[in-house]
Amino acid sequence: MEKSKEKGLKLTPQRMVLFHILSEDDRHMTADEIYQKARAEHPMLSPATVYRNMEQLVEAGLLSHLDLGGPSTRYDTNLDDHHHFVCEKCGKVMDVYLKDIRYELDPEKSDLSDVRIDSSQLYLHGVCGECG
């Protein structure tokens, strides 16, 4: 029986708290926002633990990074294939599901014949209904 090399992620109280917060679906949070929420449930918890765990969860494929322009990395609990709309005024982020996305390279200006594309992310920028 071969022992897999995967890290055994232990189920600790701190992680339970993080799972709980993440499951409450307040998506697109920064590590610090998560930390602020988490310490309410678990006051001893340190920021390092949150940062550490968030990255581990990304490595484990349970979360993904969300790279909006701001200073802090955000985490996305939604692993479905989806894209994002960002309101330039209030900063709100909305998930965008597409049935189809297609694009045609401009062959005179771009040559991607020797690259392998694994994924694509579309970011739509604009103004949301409330701010509009």
* Binding footprint of a second copy on the chain (CB under 8 A): 65, 67-69, 73, 85, 87-88, 94-106, 109-110, 112, 114-129, 132
Q: How far is the CB of 80 from a second copy (least distance, A)?
A: 9
**Residue (1 or 48) nearer to a second copy, CB:** 48
Residue 15 binds which of a second copy, DNA, none (CB < 5-8 A, kind-dependent): DNA
User: In the complex, which residues of this chain contact DNA (CB under 7 A)?
Assistant: 7-15, 30-32, 42, 44-49, 51-53, 55-56, 71-73
Distance of CA 20 to the CA centre of its chain: 16
Q: How far is the CB of 132 from a second copy (least distance, A)?
A: 6
Nearest to 95 by CA among 74, 72, 115, 110: 74
Q: How far is the CB of 90 from a second copy (least distance, A)?
A: 11
Q: Which residues, in sequence order, are CB contacts of 122 under 8 Å at separation 6+?
A: 83, 84, 96, 98, 101
The answer to whether the Cα torsion of 70, 79, 12, 38 is positive or negative is positive
Reduced to 3 states (helix: H, G, I; strand: E, B; else coil), residue 52 is helix
Element (H, E) at 48: helix 47-59
Residue 90 binds which of a second copy, DNA, none (CB < 5-8 A, kind-dependent): none
